Amino acid sequence: MRGVLVGRFQPFHRGHLELIRAVRRRSPKERLLVVIGSAEQAFTWSNPFTAGERFEMIERALAEAHLAEVAVVPVVDISRHALWVRYLEGLLPKFDRVYSHNPLTVLLFRRAGYPTESPPLIARAKLEGVRIRDRLARGLDVRSLVPPAVADYLQEIRATERLAALRPSERRRRRPAKG
Amino acid sequence: MRGVLVGRFQPFHRGHLELIRAVRRRSPKERLLVVIGSAEQAFTWSNPFTAGERFEMIERALAEAHLAEVAVVPVVDISRHALWVRYLEGLLPKFDRVYSHNPLTVLLFRRAGYPTESPPLIARAKLEGVRIRDRLARGLDVRSLVPPAVADYLQEIRATERLAALRPSERRRRRPAKG
Amino acid sequence: MRGVLVGRFQPFHRGHLELIRAVRRRSPKERLLVVIGSAEQAFTWSNPFTAGERFEMIERALAEAHLAEVAVVPVVDISRHALWVRYLEGLLPKFDRVYSHNPLTVLLFRRAGYPTESPPLIARAKLEGVRIRDRLARGLDVRSLVPPAVADYLQEIRATERLAALRPSERRRRRPAKG
Amino acid sequence: MRGVLVGRFQPFHRGHLELIRAVRRRSPKERLLVVIGSAEQAFTWSNPFTAGERFEMIERALAEAHLAEVAVVPVVDISRHALWVRYLEGLLPKFDRVYSHNPLTVLLFRRAGYPTESPPLIARAKLEGVRIRDRLARGLDVRSLVPPAVADYLQEIRATERLAALRPSERRRRRPAKG
Amino acid sequence: MRGVLVGRFQPFHRGHLELIRAVRRRSPKERLLVVIGSAEQAFTWSNPFTAGERFEMIERALAEAHLAEVAVVPVVDISRHALWVRYLEGLLPKFDRVYSHNPLTVLLFRRAGYPTESPPLIARAKLEGVRIRDRLARGLDVRSLVPPAVADYLQEIRATERLAALRPSERRRRRPAKG
Amino acid sequence: MRGVLVGRFQPFHRGHLELIRAVRRRSPKERLLVVIGSAEQAFTWSNPFTAGERFEMIERALAEAHLAEVAVVPVVDISRHALWVRYLEGLLPKFDRVYSHNPLTVLLFRRAGYPTESPPLIARAKLEGVRIRDRLARGLDVRSLVPPAVADYLQEIRATERLAALRPSERRRRRPAKG
């Protein structure tokens, strides 16, 4: 039995960690594989961190939480949604179940016959991604929102400086063109 | 004499069908080729249906309307507008005239020396694409807007469920980041 | 019932035409769809003709042979074999059977559950592709190998001149590097 | 000593020209290389002009201003920000300094160890790009905003007509979907 | 301390396994990460198995050999060699050392400042890849060349049938064109 | 009047330099633009040097030969031959004439209506590319084949070491598979 947790993890936060902990508690024998989606994206407001940085965050947070034996695989996007599940099947070992809250991800895996679960914890997590980035950009504390190891890592890579540079200006938010 | 009708057909609706009928009536000898643009796009709010599904819709609607001998060709996007007409020329048999209401399509074909026509029917059609998707997403009836065969097909592939999952949330409409 | 004939048609020749005729005779109600593969390839020794030129050849040959109602669809390659069948399914209306002699094409469609057929005529045809190109490059007659309409078209687009320019030199055949 | 000025130049305007003049005055021995970014983009509202047209504008404006020995290199985008500086390093001769006002460009070059400068003139220039396009789309005069040679060239290529066709409609500005 | 072993693993064989065992013995604290290169390649003679199948082979062979805590990451090729190391750095957590016998891989990592090792076992392994595929294609036994778990898996996925279909014909080996 | 010289310049050698000198002598007013083709290719046997390195070679050789005012533009390949000329037209300022000895380049530009010239010097040059790489790989002197500045530069970037690593082995030359 293997479950796949699909996310972008920009950044990896407490919601993600709680979800992994919950899956582990419920089915201790289930092998868990974390897919870091949009792995080629970095240095944008929606995807500020490289896949390598996100990999590092996840690894450190899992070690800190003594959650061993979780595999992590960064996956570069394929631009065609209709092929995405088949593409993942061609990259990963066989899996049986998918955890995600993204409606498109859920739709695509269900059409391909996979059972999907969207635990409430991820729902909250989803909201937190952009909120955490916003707090980082404004130099506010995020320690209550991410695992301690991630908070340290974000400081180490000077996330605040990066997010501040990537944040869309007020002006750009109001205009359609990016000119 | 061959005319090319370029569209995305998300979905194929009465406006498109009326246009084909009008061209047929006006110049019965003109061979007509329908280009399904953005063929690689699917499972997004703007492009919910695969090219294969759109091909199926068009085929069924034309059969129902006894409009034979219309060729249908799905065409995957090329990301460079400046090359797009040459790209189409490299994929299709020789053509002489282009039907489209999209201002960019018209601009690019005119620059390449093609006569273009934007019949008023397509203009109305253009507006209908997003309106039909919106009605589908909200579970409303679309029978007055699409040919009967298309209405049946949309039910067959459970379009309402798909559109509801793909519809951007109110929250995302107001924010610039998709985070 | 719809059958799909997959090929590159460089150029379309008598073997291809005979195959289409044979399918038509055997199952007159089967709708036939010809997929022009590697549609983005052109001006190379293996793929000298654009998809548009190949489309034109097929259309003229079918008209000459009074074989109506055969759909033609050029399909741009996707670089991942493992996704190719799903990619085609996303571009075409539903089909039930595949005609091809290429071992990889047959392997991929069988894995996806499609019945495949490799009529002996195509086998011969396969051999003829490169032989016809070779004859064209050397200025020899190909009228016995291609339908009359194709022979005329090849002359019209000055195929001999093009093939002569694209033919790999003796020197390049002996060296690994393209230098 | 070589400096690289990175921009999209949609279109090349007085702010850009003044910047080049200022660099020349300050360090007459510095070789200057102008990188036309997003070179593959054209015929969109944000990037209406092809790289070739932008190259032509820059060349004419520099000749008119007697600013010789400025190299111009159009550079096609790479979709991965994290690799962009390395990608540029692989395309250009060695350079030592970067001029840009774009926060992302500055962030990426600084991380790679390059000194960057954002002269105030470019800041103003940045604002002008979209304003000039907007004026062009509405048929207003832009002679005070671009060098004379560029104004003539814009007329020559009928920029007003193009911009008017590409300008997003009011309706599209208010809706998230482009349908 | 983390070492990265880069290979294509078509298929994973005894040479690969012995190498991992040797690294483990020599530096038991070194974390090991296996990169499955050319992850998008499959169903060709050089790359017959999907990355998912190769992932599965490696996982089973490591479990059978009680070699725990080896991470596996499939990595899709980037077409530009000059950017490849930076691309890997953007996908993986920080690493310190690279194991590979491929001269290009070694060259690129050395230029980027990484220590590289090419243990003799991999050299032998390299030769074995094509030899094992050749034996599979001819229906010969490969049990002495691959770990038992891999031998079973190859049977499970009917590797012989696949390799036989993908093997280039004698004729194609002698001709330059693939016609 | 502007002429474009298209080549890969792996490396830039005396044949190339002589050609530029000859064009300058014959038509002193012709502006010359050197296109470095396959700019994204590097670290392969056929294309060992990055576009940036080739740019540097050309710049140094031209300076040494007092051939001023030759523009250099690296151009990343587009995978579709049928669109290549239009793609170049979209990147470069208007040009009137093309210098190349590559039969495909000549064929494509002629079809697009450009006058092309293949001076005998380039023919010889073409042969020299692979011969120079071969000599470099074997540690032999190339001073008689390349301009002095290029010979120095090749030493500076340790070309011999790189070429030796990239040279295909005897074994690979005899086998079809690269496995």
- Mean pLDDT confidence for E41-52: 97
- CA-CA distance, B79 to F151, in Å (whole number)? 40
Comparing C171 with A145, the larger pLDDT belongs to A145
- CA-CA distance, A169 to F40, in Å (whole number)? 34
Residue holding tokens 């002589």?
Answer: F18
Q: Which residue of D has its CA nearest to F90?
A: D52
Q: Is residue A11 predicted with pLDDT exceeding 60?
A: yes
Residues of chain A in contact with residue E95, where contact means CB-CB under 8 angstroms, are none
Nearest Cα neighbor of E57 from E86, E34, E91 is: E34
- Taking only the tens place, the pLDDT of each residue in D117-142 is 988 766 665 568 999 999 999 999 99
pLDDT at E79: 84
Q: Which residue of D has its CA nearest to E84?
A: D83
> F132, F126 in Cβ contact below 8 A?
no
> Is E169 an 8 Å CB contact of chain F?
no
Q: Which other chains touch chain E, taking contact as 3+ CB pairs less than 8 Å apart?
A: A, C, D, F
ipTM above 0.95, yes or no: no
- CA-CA distance, C89 to B35, in Å (whole number)? 17
Nearest Cα neighbor of D62 from B151, F69, A34, C158 is: F69
Give the DSSP letter of residue E81: G
- Taking only the tens place, the pLDDT of each residue in C49-99 is 999 999 999 999 999 999 988 999 999 999 899 999 999 999 999 999 999
CA dist D38 → D44, D125, D159, F91 (Å): 12, 17, 19, 11
- Assessment of whether the complete model's pTM goes beyond 0.90: yes
- CA-CA distance, A2 to A23, in Å (whole number)? 11
Element of type H or E holding B140: none
> E44, E32 in Cβ contact below 8 A?
no
Q: Could you give the percent of chain B with pLDDT greater than 90?
A: 83
> F149, F53 in Cβ contact below 8 A?
no
Q: Is residue D179 predicted with pLDDT exceeding 50?
A: no
Residue D141 CA neighbour count, 13 Å, CB half:
3
Q: Is residue D40 predicted with pLDDT exceeding 50?
A: yes
Q: Could you give the percent of chain D with pLDDT greater than 90?
A: 83
> A82, A98 in Cβ contact below 8 A?
no
User: Hey, are the CB atoms on F175 and E130 less than 8 Å from each other?
Assistant: yes
Q: Testing the interface with C: which of E49, E54, E173, E178 to mutate, by most C Cβ within 10 A?
A: E178
Angle of helix C120-137 relative to helix C159-166, nearest 10 degrees, comes to 90
SS3 A71: strand
State how beta strands B116-117 and E116-117 pair. unpaired
Q: Which residue of B has its CA nearest to A47?
A: B179
> Is D113 an 8 Å CB contact of chain E?
no
Strand partners, A5: A34, A99
- Taking only the tens place, the pLDDT of each residue in B71-93 is 999 999 998 999 999 999 999 99
> D147, D18 in Cβ contact below 8 A?
no
pLDDT at C178: 35
Which of E 17-36 lie inside 8 A of C, CB atoms?
none
- CA-CA distance, C42 to C19, in Å (whole number)? 24
Q: Is residue C176 predicted with pLDDT exceeding 80?
A: no
SS3 E97: strand
The model's confidence at residue B166, banded by pLDDT at 50, 70 and 90, is very high
Q: Quick one: tokens of E115?
A: 């220590």
- The C-alpha of F113 sits at a distance from chain D's nearest C-alpha, in angstroms, of 18
The model's confidence at residue E174, banded by pLDDT at 50, 70 and 90, is very low
> A128, A19 in Cβ contact below 8 A?
no
The model's confidence at residue D73, banded by pLDDT at 50, 70 and 90, is very high
The model's confidence at residue D175, banded by pLDDT at 50, 70 and 90, is very low
- CA-CA distance, B33 to B39, in Å (whole number)? 15
> D119, D99 in Cβ contact below 8 A?
yes
CA torsion angle C39 C43 C48 C54 (round to 10): 40
CA torsion angle B27 B11 B155 B170 (round to 10): -160
F120: left (phi over 0), alpha (psi -120 to 50) or beta: alpha
Give the DSSP letter of residue A144: T
H-type alpha helices, chain C:
14-26, 51-64, 84-91, 103-111, 120-137, 148-156, 159-166, 170-174
CA dist A107 → A81, A92, A93, E57 (Å): 11, 19, 21, 30
> Is E82 an 8 Å CB contact of chain D?
yes
- Taking only the tens place, the pLDDT of each residue in A41-84 is 999 999 999 999 999 999 999 999 999 889 999 999 998 999 99
Nearest Cα neighbor of A30 from A69, A61, A58 is: A69
| pLDDT (tens place) for every residue of chain F, 179 residues total | 999 999 999 999 999 999 999 999 999 999 999 999 999 999 999 999 999 999 999 999 999 999 988 999 999 999 899 999 999 999 999 999 999 988 899 999 999 999 999 877 665 655 689 999 999 999 999 999 999 999 999 999 999 999 999 998 755 544 443 33
User: Hey, are the CB atoms on D59 and F89 less than 8 Å from each other?
Assistant: no
Nearest Cα neighbor of B137 from B44, B57, B56, B60 is: B44
- Taking only the tens place, the pLDDT of each residue in F144-174 is 999 999 999 999 999 999 999 999 875 554 4
Which of B 32-61 lie inside 8 A of A, CB atoms?
40-44, 50
> B70, B64 in Cβ contact below 8 A?
no
- Mean pLDDT confidence for D64-68: 93
Strand partners, A72: A34
- Taking only the tens place, the pLDDT of each residue in D100-123 is 988 899 999 999 999 999 887 666
> A108, A89 in Cβ contact below 8 A?
no
- Mean pLDDT confidence for D76-91: 95
Mean pLDDT for chain B?
91
Tell me the torsion sign for CA atoms F5, F6, F9, F15: negative
Nearest Cα neighbor of C20 from C36, C8, C3, C37 is: C3
With b for 16 or more beta-carbon neighbours within 10 A and e for fewer, the E47-70 pattern comes to bbbbbbbbbbbbbbbbeebebeeb
- CA-CA distance, D70 to F94, in Å (whole number)? 18
- Taking only the tens place, the pLDDT of each residue in A75-134 is 999 989 999 999 999 999 999 999 998 889 999 999 999 999 988 766 666 568 999 999
Q: Could you give the percent of chain C with pLDDT greater than 70?
A: 91
SS3 D2: strand
- The C-alpha of A152 sits at a distance from chain E's nearest C-alpha, in angstroms, of 16
- CA-CA distance, E97 to E31, in Å (whole number)? 10
- CA-CA distance, E166 to C175, in Å (whole number)? 24
* Phi, psi (rounded to 5 degrees) for E164: -60, -40
DSSP per-residue string spanning B9-58 = -TT--HHHHHHHHHHHHH-TT-EEEEEE-STT--SSSSS-S-HHHHHHHH
- Which distant-in-sequence residues (6+ apart) come within 8 Å of A72 by Cβ? A33, A34, A36, A55, A58, A59, E71, E73
Mean pLDDT for chain A?
91
Which of B 114-153 lie inside 8 A of D, CB atoms?
129-130, 133
Nearest Cα neighbor of C144 from C131, C157, C156 is: C131
A42, A165, A177: residue with CB nearest D168 = A177
- Mean pLDDT confidence for E80-88: 96
D–E contact (≥3 CB pairs within 8 Å)?
A: yes
Q: In one letter, which amino acid is F67?
A: L
Mean pLDDT for chain C?
91
pLDDT at A68: 82
SS3 C71: strand
Residues of chain B in contact with residue F80, where contact means CB-CB under 8 angstroms, are 87, 90
Distance of CA D133 to the CA centre of its chain: 13
pLDDT at E114: 98
